[in-house]
């Protein structure tokens, strides 16, 4: 009878809830430790035909130019489809990316697949820190929405603040099992002696699988970074 | 006045660029008499200033009175052509401007904007100056840099290469070695 079953559930449901909760937390913790353990370890050998969906984070100043420079030497048929994200107030970066993708089409590369998206900025230059709390929340929600749509297997970024929410969400996706991704961070060539704030965060939190720097001084200061020389 | 003895006056253009920034201090000092005289003394004929988002407007001049011809504009979609036709480039410390100029093999004076907060840009300019790829200066010392510079002592910059990073990324992802 309904009365009996409701009594049965109301007696044991607190225990059930607690058990479920503890089990859930344990699973997440185990996953978290597993992801930390596997971060930075190379993936297994791939079959030649396999492609990886790639998220490319662009930024104002020299960031986009440096990123395009890197994309020129990556095999386009391996890193596809490509998703470009730039901050909503950055007018030039997506345009530069479009020009780059068009040049690939013009030079006869087949099967081009690229999408261009804008993301809200966590904080504009000079914005008050009080209002920044709200805008950061909005930006993070927007980042989550975009990442759920894209679910990239590879993340390429080189410094703009927009990459932080995206990288953190990519990491969370790995923990929760939504999508495994490899996160590559190349610190900007303009950073010779000190890391940028984005670089420092990703380095300390050990979120990036590979952390590249372009000047030897940085490699000496941050031993887990890999020195690759100047890209420009 | 086209009656120069050799018939055609060879143009030696100094191109000043502030990129997409506002850097009135550089535009002002490039337009000041001290710097213009120094440039003229060193054999330059034209001064072209790309002034970006700044509010200071230089004084245009045709240079017919035996001085530097001066012109300016705010932005252009690509400054590569201006860089190519310049004999000397004076630039803000943005990495894009710096490397675009170095890759064209043009002599470069980088002027660091002291009004910027957290000036990480100066790190790059100073490092490249230490390696003798360019001269590094502040707005107030620009005329001294121009007076004392020896462009022949600059070391050509070998363009960088992104292939090592690409190789490491490919190896990490398990892609085979051959491109």
pLDDT digits (tens, 9 = 90+) for A187-223: 999 999 999 989 999 999 999 999 999 999 999 999 9
The encoded tokens of residue B13 equal 């253009």
pTM as predicted:
0.86
pLDDT the model gives residue A44: 77
Question: Does residue B8 sit within a domain?
Answer: no
Farthest-apart Cα atoms in chain A, separation: 76
CATH number of the domain enclosing B34: 3.40.50.2000
Q: Which site among A43, A71, A73 would you substitute to test the B interface, given the most B Cβ atoms closer than 10 Å to its Cβ?
A: A73
B164 contact A CB<8A: yes
Nearest CA in chain B to A63: B96
Domain hosting B33: range is 13-173
B83 inside domain: yes
Contacts of A19 (CB under 8 A, 6+ apart): none
What CATH class is the domain A51-227? alpha beta
Q: Does B170 lie at the interface with A, CB-CB under 8 angstroms?
A: yes
The pLDDT of residue B76:
86
d(Cα B110, Cα B129) in Å, to the nearest integer? 9
Domains in chain B, number: 1
Which residues of chain B neighbour A187 with C-beta distances below 8 Å?
none
Cβ contacts of B90 within 8 Å, gap of 6 or more:
B14, B15, B16, B17, B26, B30, B108, B109, B111, B142
User: Which residues in chain A have Cβ-Cβ distances shorter than 8 Å to B52?
Assistant: none
Q: Which residues on chain A are in Cβ contact (under 8 Å) with B121?
A: 190
Task: State whether residue A64 sits within 8 Å of chain B by CB.
Answer: no
pLDDT confidence of residue A136: 81
Q: Sign of the C-alpha dihedral, residues A96, A229, B151, B103? A: negative
The answer to whether position B52 is within a domain reads yes
Q: Select from B94, B87, B8 the least CA-distant residue to B48.
A: B87
ipTM: 0.87
Q: Tell me the per-residue pLDDT of A124-158, one tens digit each, with 9 for 90 and over.
A: 767 787 888 888 889 889 999 999 999 999 999 99
Q: Which of A43, A62, A192 sits opposite B173 (nearest CB)?
A: A43
B87 within domain boundaries: yes
Q: Given CB atoms, is B160 within the 8 Å cutoff of chain A?
A: yes
Query: Could you give the CA distance from residue B157 to residue B160 in angstroms, rounded to a whole number?
Result: 9
* CA dist A145 → A55, B13, B71, B91 (Å): 14, 51, 49, 40
Give the range among A50-59, A74-83, A129-138, A212-221 with minimum mean pLDDT.
A129-138
Quick check: A122 and A165 in contact, CB under 8 A? yes
Q: Is A126 in CB contact (< 8 Å) with chain B? A: no
pLDDT at A213: 97
A-contacting residues of B 58-97, CB under 8 Å?
Answer: 94-96
Residue A78: which of A104, A46, A102, A105 has the closest Cα?
A46
Yes or no: say if B108 and B124 are a contact pair by the CB < 8 Å rule: no
Q: List chain B residues with CB under 8 Å of A189.
A: 95, 99, 124, 160
Identify the DSSP state of B124.
H
Strand partners, A184: A156, A210
Is A120 within 8 Å of chain B by CB?
Answer: no
pLDDT attached to residue B4: 47
- In three-state secondary structure terms, A142 is helix
Q: Reduced to 3 states, what is the DSSP secondary structure of residue A153?
A: coil
User: Is there a contact between A75 and B175 if contact means CB atoms under 8 Å apart?
Assistant: yes
The strand order across the sheet containing B13-17 reads B69-73, B46-50, B13-17, B88-92, B108-111, B135-137
Q: How far is B122 from chain A (nearest CA, A)?
A: 9
- Give the start-to-end residue ranges of the domains of chain A: 51-227
State the Cα–Cα distance between residues B101 and A94, nearest whole angstrom. Answer: 23
Could you state, in chain order, the average pLDDT of each consecutive group of 10 residues for chain B (179 residues)? Answer: 56 93 94 94 95 92 87 89 96 92 96 82 93 96 94 94 95 80
Residue B132 lies in a domain: yes
Which A-chain residues 34-63 have CB contacts (< 8 A) with chain B?
A: 42-46, 48, 52, 60-62
State whether residue B177 sits within 8 Å of chain A by CB.
Answer: no
- Whether B176 has its CB under 8 Å from any CB of chain A: the answer is yes
Instruction: Decide if B47 contacts B16 (C-beta within 8 A).
Output: yes
Per-residue pLDDT at A4 exceeds 70: no
Q: Is residue B60 part of a domain?
A: yes
Question: A230 vs B163: CB contact, 8 Å cut-off?
Answer: no
* Of the partner residues A46, A48, A229, the one whose CB lies closest to the CB of residue B160: A229
Measured between beta carbons, the chain B residues lying within 8 angstroms of A69 are: 162
Give the chain B residue whose CA is nearest to the CA of A52: B173
CA distance B105 to chain A (A): 14
């Amino acid at each position: 009878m309904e009365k009996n079953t409701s009594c049965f559930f109301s007696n044991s449901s607190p225990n059930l809830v607690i058990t479920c909760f503890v089990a859930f937390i344990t699973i997440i913790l185990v996953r978290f430790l597993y992801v930390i353990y596997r971060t930075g370890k190379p993936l297994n050998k791939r079959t030649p035909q396999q492609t990886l969906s790639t998220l490319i984070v662009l930024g104002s100043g020299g960031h986009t130019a440096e990123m395009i420079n890197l994309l020129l030497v990556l095999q386009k048929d391996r890193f596809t489809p490509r998703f470009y994200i730039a901050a909503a107030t950055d007018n030039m970066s997506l345009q530069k990316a479009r020009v780059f993708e068009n040049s690939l089409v013009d030079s006869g590369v087949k099967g081009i697949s690229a999408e261009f998206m804008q993301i809200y900025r966590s904080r504009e230059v000079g914005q008050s820190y009080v209002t920044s709390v709200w805008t950061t929340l909005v930006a993070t929600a927007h980042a989550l929405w975009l990442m759920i749509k894209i679910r990239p297997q590879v993340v390429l970024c080189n410094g703009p603040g927009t990459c932080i929410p995206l990288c953190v969400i990519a990491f969370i996706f790995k923990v929760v099992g939504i999508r495994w991704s490899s996160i590559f961070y190349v610190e900007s060539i303009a950073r010779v002696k000190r890391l940028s704030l984005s670089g420092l965060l990703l380095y300390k939190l050990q979120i990036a699988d590979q952390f590249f720097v372009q000047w030897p001084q940085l490699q000496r200061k941050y031993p887990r970074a890999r020195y690759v020389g100047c890209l420009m | 006045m086209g009656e120069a003895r050799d018939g055609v006056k060879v143009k030696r253009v100094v191109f000043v660029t502030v990129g997409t920034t506002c850097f009135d201090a550089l535009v002002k000092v490039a337009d000041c008499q001290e710097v213009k005289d120094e440039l003229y003394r060193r054999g330059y004929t034209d001064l072209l200033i790309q002034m970006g988002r700044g509010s200071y407007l230089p004084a245009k001049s045709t240079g017919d009175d035996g001085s530097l011809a001066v012109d300016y504009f705010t932005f252009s979609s690509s400054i590569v052509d201006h860089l190519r036709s310049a004999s000397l480039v004076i630039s803000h410390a943005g990495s894009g401007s710096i490397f675009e100029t170095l890759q064209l093999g043009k002599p470069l004076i980088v002027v660091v904007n002291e009004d910027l907060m957290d000036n990480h840009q100066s790190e790059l300019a100073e490092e490249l100056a230490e390696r003798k790829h360019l001269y590094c200066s502040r707005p107030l010392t620009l005329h001294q840099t121009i007076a004392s510079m020896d462009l022949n002592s600059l070391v050509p910059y070998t363009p960088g290469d992104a292939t090592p990073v690409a190789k490491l990324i490919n190896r990490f992802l398990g892609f085979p070695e051959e491109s």
